[in-house]
Structures are given as C-alpha cells and as structure tokens.
Amino acid sequence: MDVNNPCFNTLWGTLTRPSWALLLSLTTLLGFTWFLQFSSNSSPPPLPPSPSLPPLRSTRVATGKTCEGFYRVRELDRATVVATVEEFGGVGDGITSNTEAFRRAVETIARGGGGRLVVPKGRWVTGSFNLTSNFTLYLEEGAVILGSQVCESFNYLL
C-alpha cells in the first residue's frame, strides 16, 4: 500500500476545473430563483371555513397584517352565571382560607352551565379547587391568588 498516494487522488485527478461559463450560469440561476422567491407579494389562498365551527358574528373583514377577526369573541349570553368569590363567603385579606368559597362558587357556576367567577382586588388564600368546562376565572386588577400553607386545603391523589 502506497501511503503517499491515497485512493482519492486517482478520483481527484480525473476531475477538471469547471469552466467560467458553467459557474456563471449556475450563479445566475441561483440568483434568479432567489429573486423570484422573495420578490413575490402574493400570499397563499385562504383556507375554507371549518364546517364544525359556527359562523362569525362580525361582518368586518380583517385587512392588512393584523390578527383582527382571527379569534372568535364569545360574548356572555344573558343566562351565563357571573359571580364573585365574595358572594360565596370569600375574604381577600391574605389570611383567611377561601378554599371552600372557591369550591362552592365553581360548583354553583358549573351547575348553571358555566360562567365567570370574578375575583376582586385583594389577596386570596386558597387550597386546590377544580375548574370546569365553560368556566372563566377572572382576576380583577390587584387580585392575587395565594396557595394555602395548610396541607388539609389540598386534594391529594393517592
């Protein structure tokens, strides 16, 4: 075996340097495709509406480069329950445990088919409680929910 003459030298020796015309043609082709890719202002066609979603209530059409009209705004109907945690005995003083008040509020709203539980300004200490479907937990400005330091306030899965 000849150490000074590796096997790739035989292959490399058969290749010739490409001509300047070939390099110029490839560079021009690459530049032209790049120009076509980034100079096009066309956008892909919009997707058809999903048959499983209800139609939008808004008749405004989003224009420009905004997300307006992309998200569906669900307005609360008159039958939706809106309550505050204070209505269920909650106290936002940062000391009193509000676990049972939150649990009663969530259960009451769930029985009504869903709704919104408003947490007013204050420091609300609570253990665990389960959120349900069609339920919004709305914290007003200045409302803080704190986790209870009492272990009995939490439901443990065993």
SS3 string, 115-135, reads EEEEECCEEEEECCCCCCCCE
pLDDT band at residue 123 using 50, 70 and 90 as cut-offs: very high
The residue extents of the domains of the chain are 81-153
- Mapped onto helix, strand or coil, the DSSP state of residue 95 is strand
How many Å apart are CA 97 and CA 127, to the nearest integer? 8
pLDDT of residue 158: 43
Distance (Å, whole) CA 105 – CA 103: 5
Task: Give the model confidence (pLDDT) of 3-25 as tens digits.
Answer: 565 666 666 666 677 788 888 88
Report yes or no on whether pTM surpasses 0.75: no
* pLDDT, average across residues 122-137: 89
Contact 128, 101 (CB under 8 A): no
